[in-house]
């Protein structure tokens, strides 16, 4: 069955010479189809740069099931073990798992098949049509298939998409034909529902294909050069995601070195947001944390740049409910180290000391100008990832923005919020006074972080951070330290008493900067022009959750540039859209997010 799907869809020959290949599987089962396709990709010297595999499952298999039966093929077993390392937290919804340095992406969609198909925003090059298992004594394996499932599947296909599988074909052939598929194989007449036959088909409807339901760009842009303004978490993650797909990326920042702003935080906590109703922020942060952990494992030095310690969340102001929540999928991480690792990827050039003051359109490209009007760079597409400076820079564009369909009032209002962290070296304080892991709540404690600079070496602790709107008069460092000490007393009274003396004698260090937030506390990522191939894009407004959101937003943007599967269902992706400031879009967004994630349109 596995080999027949791959071969019947013309693979691996069909993907040769392509930038990317997209496979959709209707039932993940034990993952054998994915592993076999991944293996074929690895062994093909003419493979595409990106392999996307989107699979649906009502219930993810256990790790034992993933590994079972793979011993006969050492390469399959190796890949299955790599898959098992990321096999956790698979709640209903979309989950993006990355392999081969981000060039092989598995999007596992947990939920009802029809709903999961409707939530897609991409077109597949090949479909593996695999039956869901029977879920009752009187139901066949295809009982959960109907014409609406076939319609949802057709929505995910382009003209020429190949389809292969082994299914009960009597009613499926009729449904697929009605929805635009041409049956290539000649299946026998099936009288008993228990009989199965091989099925091959091609999507080639007799009518023009209309994608009226798609609200997000789904067609790939030609790979070229682009510019990213801003070299913090947002800009560097966008640059890395685009470079993996073949783009030549120029990153410009007004500072001489990257991560000079809020992304220069000495250490941050990567921890998912939780809520009793599993709100939009919770679902987005959960997806973002998974993606960031993958990046940390592949790019950073564990124990020095990051550590997957888990985090204890204290819900001090919430009642009723458990006072503490343990987050096993959480870590501390040094943002600046990650930014530098991203910018060191092939295809990326960093240009420091480059203050982009305005933009000027020149043919099909954009010239980025400094304050004197000199050209800093010229690119086909521009991503504004410079936090609160994005809006001001947009207003300086030397072209009639309304003529491009761009209205600055459509974008979420982004404002600065000051934050200060208090920190010091451990010195002579007994280690027993410190908690065994980071503690999060109304503030955070990161108890043990190795510091290696020219000035200081050793283990440091961090407490913070304050949160003050930029429009208010700035508070003194001493006032902010006192506020952080108060947070410390709430999160860990024992440690608060042990460290209070250092705060009293001003023996703590200060780190402070300003983060950029939106009114709904969600980042803004997406095109600024309402055209099929926009050239101006925004990725900003991540607030205090840059570690949770930066990779997620970068992958959403890169997927929309490349016509790839999104790492999120379409409803959640719209919650991040940069143009969500219009009344119509806000109403549409509110309605879509009222639905459970498995039912989002």
pLDDT at 193: 41
Q: What are phi and psi of 522, to 5 degrees?
A: -115, 145
What are the structural domain ranges in the chain?
2-203, 225-257+341-414+519-599, 417-515
Phi/psi for 178 (5° steps) reads -65, -30
Q: Looking at residue 154, what is its pLDDT?
A: 95
Q: Measured between alpha carbons, how far is 446 from 53 in angstroms, rounded to an integer?
A: 37
pLDDT digits (tens, 9 = 90+) for 339-373: 999 999 999 999 999 999 999 989 889 999 999 99
Read off the pLDDT band of 141 (50, 70, 90).
Answer: very low
Among candidate residues 47, 25, 273, 11, the one with its CA nearest the CA of residue 165: 25
Q: How far is CA 482 from the centre of its chain?
A: 36
pLDDT of 136 over the 90 cut? no
For the chain, the first-to-last Cα distance in angstroms comes to 32
Quick: pLDDT tens for 151-183: 999 999 999 999 998 765 567 888 899 999 998
Residues 63-101: pLDDT tens digits? 999 998 887 788 999 999 999 999 999 999 999 999 999
pLDDT over 60 at 139, yes or no:
no
Radius of gyration (C-alpha) of the chain in whole angstroms: 25
Q: Quote the CA–CA distance of 228 and 235 in Å, as a whole number.
A: 6
**Which CATH number describes the domain made up of 2-203?**
3.40.50.150
Q: How big is the chain, counted in residues? A: 601
Taking the C-alpha atoms of residue 243 and residue 121, their distance in angstroms, rounded to an integer, is 22
The H or E element spanning position 107 is strand 104-110
Check for a shared fold between 2-203 and 225-257+341-414+519-599: no
Distance CA 572, CA 593 (A): 7
**Distance in angstroms (rounded) separating the CA atoms of residues 549 and 259:** 16
Judged against a pLDDT cut of 80, whether residue 240 lies above it is answered with yes
Q: Are 216 and 121 in contact (CB under 8 A)?
A: yes
The string of pLDDT tens digits covering residues 192-205 is 344 456 889 999 99
The H or E element spanning position 91 is none
Q: Which residue has the tokens 């050039």?
A: 349
Is there a contact between 550 and 263 (Cβ–Cβ < 8 Å)? Answer: no
Secondary structure of residue 541 in the 3-state scheme: coil
Q: What is the C-alpha separation between 580 and 532, in angstroms, rounded? A: 17
- 225-257+341-414+519-599 — its CATH code? 3.50.50.60
């Amino acid at each position: 069955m596995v080999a027949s799907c791959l071969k019947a869809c013309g693979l691996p020959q069909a993907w040769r010479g392509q930038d990317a290949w997209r496979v959709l599987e209707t039932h993940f089962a034990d993952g054998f189809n994915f592993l076999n396709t991944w293996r074929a990709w690895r062994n093909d010297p003419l493979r595409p740069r990106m392999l996307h595999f989107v699979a649906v499952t009502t219930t993810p298999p256990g790790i034992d099931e993933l590994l079972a039966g793979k011993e006969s093929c050492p390469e399959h077993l190796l890949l299955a073990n790599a898959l098992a390392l990321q096999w956790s937290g698979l709640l209903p919804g979309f989950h993006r798992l990355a392999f081969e340095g981000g060039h092989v992406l598995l999007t596992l969609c947990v939920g009802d098949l029809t709903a999961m198909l409707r939530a897609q925003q991409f077109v597949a090059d090949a479909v593996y049509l695999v039956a869901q298992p029977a879920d009752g004594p009187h139901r066949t394996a295809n009982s959960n298939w109907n014409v609406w499932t076939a319609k949802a599947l057709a929505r995910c296909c382009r003209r020429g998409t190949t389809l292969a599988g082994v299914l009960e074909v009597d009613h499926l052939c009729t449904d697929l034909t009605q929805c635009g598929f041409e049956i290539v194989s000649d299946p026998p007449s099936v009288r008993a529902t228990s009989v199965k036959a091989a099925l091959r088909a091609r999507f080639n409807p007799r009518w023009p294909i209309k994608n009226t339901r798609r609200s997000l760009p789904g067609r790939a842009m030609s790979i070229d050069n682009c510019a990213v303004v801003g070299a913090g978490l947002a800009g560097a993650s966008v640059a890395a995601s685009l470079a993996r797909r073949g783009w030549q990326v120029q990153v410009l920042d007004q500072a001489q070195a990257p991560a000079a702003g809020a992304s220069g935080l000495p250490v941050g906590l990567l921890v998912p947001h939780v809520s009793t109703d599993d709100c939009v922020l919770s679902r987005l942060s959960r997806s973002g944390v998974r993606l960031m952990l993958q990046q940390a494992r592949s790019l950073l030095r564990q124990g020095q740049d990051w550590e997957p310690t888990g985090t204890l969340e204290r819900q001090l102001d919430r009642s009723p409910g458990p006072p503490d929540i343990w987050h096993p999928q959480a870590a501390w991480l040094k943002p600046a180290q990650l930014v530098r690792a991203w910018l060191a990827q092939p295809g990326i050039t960093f240009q420091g000391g480059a203050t982009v003051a305005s933009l000027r359109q020149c043919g099909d490209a954009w010239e980025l100008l400094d304050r004197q009007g000199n050209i800093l760079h010229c690119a086909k597409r521009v991503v504004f990832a410079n936090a609160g400076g994005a809006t001001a820079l947009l207003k300086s564009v030397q072209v009639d923005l309304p003529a491009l369909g761009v209205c600055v009032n459509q974008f979420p209002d982004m404002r600065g919020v000051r934050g200060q962290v208090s920190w010091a070296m451990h010195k002579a304080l007994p280690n027993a006074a410190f908690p065994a892991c980071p503690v999060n709540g109304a503030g955070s404690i990161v108890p043990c972080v190795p510091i290696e600079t020219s000035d200081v070496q050793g283990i440091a602790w961090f407490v913070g951070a304050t949160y003050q709107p930029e429009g208010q008069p700035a508070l003194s460092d001493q006032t902010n330290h006192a506020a952080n000490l108060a947070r410390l007393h709430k999160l860990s009274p024992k440690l608060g008493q042990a460290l209070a003396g250092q705060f009293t004698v001003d023996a703590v260090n200060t780190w402070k900067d300003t983060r950029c937030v939106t009114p709904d506390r969600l980042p803004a990522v997406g095109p600024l022009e309402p055209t099929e191939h926009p050239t101006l894009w925004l990725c900003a407004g991540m607030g205090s959750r840059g570690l949770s959101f930066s990779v997620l937003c970068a992958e959403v943007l890169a997927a929309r540039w490349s016509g790839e599967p999104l790492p999120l269902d379409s409803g959640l992706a719209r919650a991040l859209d940069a143009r969500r400031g219009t009344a119509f879009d806000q109403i549409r967004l509110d309605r879509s997010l009222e639905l459970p994630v498995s039912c989002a349109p």
